[in-house]
Amino acid sequence: MIHDYLMYRDDPEFTRQFLPGIKSVLGWFEDREMLAPWERMTAKGMTSFGERDINPRSECHGWSASPCFDLLHTVAGITPGSPGFETVIIQPNPGKLQEMEVEFPHPKGTIHLSLQRKGEHGIIGEIILPPKLKGTFLWKDISMDLNKGENKIDLK
């Protein structure tokens, strides 16, 4: 029912705001349909994202960054772990992606992720946190502390 409702929405911003509530339930980032509105806009030659998918009337609104936000926050899973982003939680949701390379700007420096799927359920790679930043990496039912600098990931 949710899928049918969203399928007929022509408002990418609504979909972007609605996604966090359903991502863990439906695993919807595995579905290419979710990217369809943005793919249609780029196919039309737009260089940023319009207010609506059908007959977009503007390319210069803040929601043009929606896909970037979704890739960093939802797919890479980078979120504040405490007020003021003093700590970070990284809980990737790669869907069908086999690997991801991410650079995320943080007030204390850049967070780097280089992750690859390992088999059906595992993940390997590294996460580099800037100085004075600590965090937590969550994968399936595993929680791993992250410290400043390089953190190796090898989970099955």
Task: Using CB atoms within 10 Å of the CB of residue 149, give its burial: 0 to 12 exposed, 13 to 18 middle, 19+ buried.
Answer: exposed
Compute the distance between CA of residue 121 and CA of residue 156 in angstroms, rounded to an integer. 6
φ, ψ (nearest 5 deg) of residue 88: -130, 145
pLDDT average, residue stretch 100-104 = 92
**H or E segment and range at residue 155:** strand 149-155
Tell me the per-residue pLDDT of 119-142, one tens digit each, with 9 for 90 and over. Answer: 889 999 999 999 999 999 999 999
Here the tokens at position 51 are: 């207010």
Pairing of strands 109-118, 99-106: antiparallel
Taking residue 44's Cβ as centre, other Cβ atoms within 10 Å add up to 9
Pick 29 or 57 by higher pLDDT. Answer: 57
Domains of the chain: 1-71 (no CATH), 76-156 (2.60.420.10)
Instruction: Give the pLDDT band of residue 36 (cuts 50, 70, 90).
Output: confident
Pairing of strands 122-129, 109-118: antiparallel
Find residue 118's DSSP bridge partners.
Answer: 122
Q: Is the pLDDT of residue 95 over 70?
A: yes
CB 132 within 8 A of CB 108: yes
Instruction: Report the pLDDT value the prediction gives residue 154, as an integer from 0 to 100.
Output: 96
Tell me the per-residue pLDDT of 4-23, one tens digit each, with 9 for 90 and over. Answer: 444 444 455 555 555 554 45
Here the tokens at position 120 are: 């059906």
pLDDT average, residue stretch 40-62 = 71
Instruction: Report the pLDDT value the prediction gives residue 40, as an integer from 0 to 100.
Output: 79
Q: Is the pLDDT of residue 101 over 50?
A: yes
Q: Mapping DSSP to helix (H, G, I), strand (E, B) and coil, where does residue 9 land? A: coil
